[in-house]
């Protein structure tokens, strides 16, 4: 992997780390940072957080907006006070069961299967399809209505011409009308 995608650190005395490089995918060098107390790795592309299980002194951990599916590797961080893990791909609420002892857990935007109501989404799509179908039907009805009005206007016009022909001996009758727009 390139240096831009892997975080390389070797200082074992580092206490705080705030990374603002969105291209980071691997954090395996954190294995050596056992003295870390504060770690901010938000808005990266991190999937695997197994190296964090060795950072046992962490008190604050921000992993917001990454690609994490399984938060299990951080369950042994007994000193952790604040954990921010929202905006990840964690899908099951049971993955958070062991995190209940933490004083502050930021996980409000992480969906679970139980929170996702697929029936409602499907229902909304079905209702949208019905709405579009009604619009199409209304367009057909409007076209039919206009066609009917045009036919009635032409019929009325023909009747008037016939009446006019019977009452006069004119050879040419010029009648101007406005066309209906389809």
What is the residue-averaged pLDDT of the chain? 74
| Structural domains in the chain (count) | 2
Judge whether 111 lies within some domain.
no
Task: Give residue-wise pLDDT tens across range 79-90.
Answer: 988 888 888 887
Residues 88, 65: contact at Cβ < 8 Å?
yes
**Among 106, 128, 160, which residue terminates a domain?**
106
Task: Give residue-wise pLDDT tens across range 91-131.
Answer: 665 656 665 556 566 655 444 444 445 556 566 677 777 77
Judge whether 3 lies within some domain.
no
Judge whether 74 lies within some domain.
yes
Residues 52 and 80 in one domain: yes
Q: The domain spanning residue 26 has which CATH number?
A: 3.80.10.10
What is the distance between the alpha carbons of residues 82 and 103, in angstroms, rounded to a whole number? Answer: 6
Task: Give residue-wise pLDDT tens across range 34-53.
Answer: 889 999 999 888 999 999 99
Q: Which long-range contacts (CB under 8 A, 24 or more apart) does 112-115 make?
A: none
Task: Give residue-wise pLDDT tens across range 135-156.
Answer: 777 777 878 888 888 788 777 7
**Among 106, 133, 156, which residue terminates a domain?**
106
Determine the structural domain holding residue 142 and report its residue range: 117-182
Residues 81, 61: contact at Cβ < 8 Å?
no
Q: Please tell me the predicted confidence (pLDDT) of residue 135.
A: 78
Give the H/E segment covering residue 40.
strand 38-40
Please name which of 82, 25, 26, 76 lies closest in space to residue 54, comparing C-alpha atoms.
76
Judge whether 30 lies within some domain.
yes
Residues 122 and 97 in one domain: no
Q: What is the dihedral of CA 8, 10, 14, 16, to 10 degrees?
A: 10
**Among 56, 80, 106, which residue terminates a domain?**
106
Q: Please tell me the predicted confidence (pLDDT) of residue 15.
A: 83
Q: Please tell me the predicted confidence (pLDDT) of residue 31.
A: 80
Residues 87 and 137 in one domain: no
């Amino acid at each position: 992997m390139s240096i831009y995608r892997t975080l390389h650190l070797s200082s074992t005395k580092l206490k705080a780390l705030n990374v603002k490089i969105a291209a980071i995918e691997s954090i395996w060098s954190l294995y050596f940072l056992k003295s870390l107390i504060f770690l901010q790795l938000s808005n990266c592309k991190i999937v695997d957080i197994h190296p964090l299980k060795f950072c046992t002194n962490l008190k604050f951990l921000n992993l917001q907006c990454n690609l994490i599916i399984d938060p299990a590797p951080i369950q042994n961080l007994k000193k952790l006070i604040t954990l921010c893990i929202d905006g990840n791909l964690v899908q099951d609420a049971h993955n958070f069961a062991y995190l209940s002892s933490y004083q502050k857990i930021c996980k409000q935007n992480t969906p679970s299967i139980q929170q996702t109501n697929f029936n409602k989404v499907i229902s909304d799509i079905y209702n949208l399809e019905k709405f579009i179908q009604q619009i199409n039907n209304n367009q057909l009805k409007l076209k039919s209505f206009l066609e009917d009005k045009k036919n009635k206007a032409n019929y009325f016009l023909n009747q008037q011409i016939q009446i006019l022909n019977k009452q006069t001996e004119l050879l040419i009758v010029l009648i101007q009308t406005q066309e209906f727009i389809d």
